[in-house]
């Protein structure tokens, strides 16, 4: 009990030093919590944007399509497949069939490589927000056999406007050269730079006709009600399908580059984090070492009065504990409040290098994602660093020789 009292008094004996130490903890920890929540938020958003703007959570293909996409690896979706998707409800939110292939888009003498995607306009409008991505013109109407939506950058490169005709040349299901004329109904800008640069969206039926596909499709894009359920739904679909013939691919295998980019960003995040932690560590080490060295005489007297080295260490630990307690309370309050605020009001970077964000398919407005994990991790990391930086001062204090220390001036 006496230790507690001594520790509490010792802290307020050097008011400014203690305030500075608490300040260091508050600054470092709250910043860490905020940064963690923002990074997590931006990654989630990034992934969500990609998933919701094109890939979907899961895709059902003919087996082998993911490794070697071709029109040949297509299938006729039958009622048993739709039955399966309906059964997996309510986790399955929606789905739509697609055809994907490559070809050339040309106007006059200019031509560019094109990614041709046949979509079910009315179905996809429900889960891929194509409508909001249309920069000019209109979204495809149901049953439009002659229209095309073209990526904004591809349109710029081809110098086409609304109502212009684009020649699409590709290979059909049988591998023959196939050509089609399509009228530009709209230009879109998605979160996928690749799609903006090369995407041609046509209705599924028009793609099937152009490519002699009959009623075959390449993929069923499946949206799940929340991203946590992707694996559950995947397992259910895999169980319900003939795995010799069909495959179910989750978004992170369809978009491996996004997963890698997130991992890379995490590495950079950890580096910044390490620097921040190092700064906190040195600040704490500095104040505590100072307070210990300054009070050598005091500790010497404590020892002379019969206190064991463990009691001296205990005293220092208790002082640290009080500082950490106050610092943590403040830091968490500030960090959580700031993160919570940014989870509602995003940090808006539009206007600062917006092009760069676009290039990486990111949204310039970043929402924080506040979760227990994102608060707990920085707390534990800062605690570990403080504990580490206390070792040396405590060791010094416990090692003093009482006689020498008392008479030291």
Q: What's the min distance (Å) between Cβ of 181 and another protein?
A: 5
Query: DSSP character for 53?
Result: I
Q: How far apart are the first and last CA of the chain?
A: 30
Q: What's the min distance (Å) between Cβ of 169 and another protein?
A: 5
Burial (CB < 10 A; 0-12, 13-18, 19+), residue 9, is exposed
Nearer to another protein, 114 or 258 (CB): 114
Give the Cα separation of 272 and 293 in Å (integer): 32
Q: What's the min distance (Å) between Cβ of 52 and another protein?
A: 32
Q: What's the min distance (Å) between Cβ of 361 and another protein?
A: 25
Burial (CB < 10 A; 0-12, 13-18, 19+), residue 104, is middle
Nearer to another protein, 94 or 172 (CB): 172
**Shortest CA distance to 185 belongs to which of 168, 202, 210, 198?**
202
Give the Cα separation of 86 and 316 in Å (integer): 64
Q: What's the min distance (Å) between Cβ of 137 and another protein?
A: 22
Q: What's the min distance (Å) between Cβ of 185 and another protein?
A: 18
Nearer to another protein, 12 or 174 (CB): 174
Nearer to another protein, 76 or 401 (CB): 76
Instruction: Give ∠ CA 369-36-381 in degrees, rounded to 5.
Output: 135
Q: What's the min distance (Å) between Cβ of 67 and another protein?
A: 15
Give the Cα separation of 18 and 21 in Å (integer): 5
Nearer to another protein, 63 or 289 (CB): 63
Give the Cα separation of 349 and 346 in Å (integer): 9
Cβ neighbours of residue 271 closer than 8 Å, sequence gap 6 or more: none
Nearer to another protein, 81 or 168 (CB): 168
Q: Please, are residues 121 and 203 in contact by the beta-carbon 8 Å criterion?
A: yes
Give the ranges where 97-183 is alpha helix by DSSP (H). 121-124, 130-133, 152-158
Nearer to another protein, 174 or 340 (CB): 174
Longest dimension (CA), the chain: 99
Phi, psi of 228 (to 5 degrees): -70, -20
Q: What's the min distance (Å) between Cβ of 270 and another protein?
A: 42
Q: What's the min distance (Å) between Cβ of 168 and another protein?
A: 8
| Per-residue buried b or exposed e for 113-143, using 16+ beta carbons within 10 Å of the residue's own CB | ebbbbbbbbebbbebbebeebbeebebbeee
- Token pair in block for residue 139: 């979204």
Nearer to another protein, 6 or 183 (CB): 183
Three-class SS of residue 251? helix
Q: What's the min distance (Å) between Cβ of 176 and another protein?
A: 5
Handedness of CA 357, 363, 364, 369 (dihedral sign): negative
Q: What's the min distance (Å) between Cβ of 280 and another protein?
A: 56
Nearer to another protein, 107 or 262 (CB): 107
Nearer to another protein, 124 or 144 (CB): 144
Give the ranges where 305-400 is alpha helix by DSSP (H). 309-344, 354-359, 372-398
Nearer to another protein, 167 or 249 (CB): 167
What does the binding site for another protein look like in residue numbers (CB under 8 A)? 72, 104, 106, 111, 113, 167, 169, 171-172, 174-181, 212
């Amino acid at each position: 009990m006496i230790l507690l009292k001594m520790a509490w008094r010792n802290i307020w004996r050097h008011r400014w030093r203690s305030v500075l130490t608490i300040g260091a903890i508050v600054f470092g920890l709250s910043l860490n919590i905020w940064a963690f929540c923002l990074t997590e938020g931006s990654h989630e958003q990034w992934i969500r944007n990609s998933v919701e703007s094109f890939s979907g959570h899961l895709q059902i293909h003919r087996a082998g399509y993911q490794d070697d996409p071709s029109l040949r690896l297509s299938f006729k979706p039958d009622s048993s497949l739709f039955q399966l998707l309906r059964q997996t409800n309510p986790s399955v939110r929606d789905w739509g069939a697609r055809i994907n292939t490559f070809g050339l888009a040309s106007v006059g003498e200019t031509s560019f490589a094109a990614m041709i995607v046949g979509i079910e306009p009315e179905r996809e409008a429900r889960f891929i927000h194509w409508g909001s991505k249309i920069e000019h013109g209109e979204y495809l109407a149901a049953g439009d056999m002659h229209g095309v939506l073209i990526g904004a950058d591809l349109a710029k490169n081809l110098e086409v406007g609304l109502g212009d005709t684009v020649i699409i040349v590709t290979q059909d299901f049988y591998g023959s050269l196939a050509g089609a004329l399509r009228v530009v109904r709209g230009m879109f800008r998605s979160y996928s730079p690749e799609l903006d640069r090369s995407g041609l969206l046509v209705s599924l039926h028009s793609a099937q006709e152009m490519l002699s596909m009959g009623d075959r499709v390449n993929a069923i894009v499946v949206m799940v009600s929340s991203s946590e359920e992707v694996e559950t739904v995947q397992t259910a679909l895999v169980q319900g399908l003939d795995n010799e013939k069909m495959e179910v691919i989750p978004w992170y295998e369809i978009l491996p580059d996004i997963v890698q980019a997130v991992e890379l960003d995490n590495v950079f995040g950890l580096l910044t984090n390490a620097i921040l932690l190092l700064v906190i560590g040195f600040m704490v080490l500095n104040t505590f070492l100072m307070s210990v060295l300054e009070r050598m005489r005091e500790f010497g007297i404590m020892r002379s009065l019969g206190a064991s080295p463990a009691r001296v260490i205990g005293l220092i630990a208790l002082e640290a504990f009080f500082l950490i307690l106050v610092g943590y309370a403040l830091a968490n309050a500030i960090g959580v409040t700031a993160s919570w605020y940014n989870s509602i009001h995003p940090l808006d970077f539009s206007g600062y290098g917006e092009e760069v964000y676009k290039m990486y398919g990111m949204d310039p407005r970043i929402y924080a994602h506040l979760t227990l994990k994102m608060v707990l991790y920085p707390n534990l990391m800062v605690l570990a660093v403080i504990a580490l930086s206390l070792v040396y001062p405590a060791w010094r204090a416990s090692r003093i020789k009482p006689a020498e220390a008392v008479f030291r001036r």
